[in-house]
Amino acid sequence: MNPTEKMRSQKVYFSNDETLLAEQMQCLETLYDFNHSRPSEVEKRQTLMKQIFASVGEGCYIEPPLHANWGRHTHLGKHVYANFNLTLVDDTDITIGDAVMIGPNVTIATAGHPIEPELRRRVGQFNIPVSIGNNVWIGANSVVLPGVTIGENTVIGAGSVVTKDIPANVVAVGSPCKVLRAIGEHDRTYYFQDRPLAGNVLE
């Protein structure tokens, strides 16, 4: 099994392969260019994003700084927006759907390490894909851990640690993140706490 196959196997492997380290350096070099681009260099940023990621849908925008282990294992749908300081530990696939909004200081991680001390001493690692559905909003300072799927339209509250799958069409929050309630009539009536949508939507 070659190093890339080991990374995608979802089994424990040892992440000290020189070939992998050299390939990872290429990503870090491109990220450096992205993170040091000027705000006015919109086309340059779009070009660099296409070099960094496996796929990029139209209308995506990421605020620098961006951090990624590989970049090439992350798939962005259309109109994805990520605020400052997104960290992608994408040692295997991270799939982000259309119209996803990601707050500042969010980490999405596919990589983990065994609890068993000797395996960690040897730099043992495993990688399990993460999937984020269309129209999800992930609040600031949240962490999404390996193997998690988040269903479409769901809101992850700020500061959450998402350790397990979260279904579609819910508000979920906490550490560990749990479903608080379904998205429903209340959300069609109020946009924030007791502030009604009626008369408060500007066109």
Active-site residue identified among 73, 75, 113, 186 = 113
Which residue, chain included where needed, has tokens 């068993």? 116
Let me know if 113 is a catalytic residue.
yes
Residues 123 and 138: beta-carbon distance below 8 Å = no
Q: How far apart are the first and last CA of the chain?
A: 56
Q: In what side-by-side order are the strands of the sheet with 13-14?
A: 13-14, 124-127, 111-112
Report the phi/psi class of residue 76: left, alpha or beta, with left for phi > 0 and alpha for psi in -120 to 50: beta
d(CA 68, CA 84): 13
Residues 6 or more apart from 46 whose CB is under 8 A from it? Answer: 56
Catalytic residue set: 113
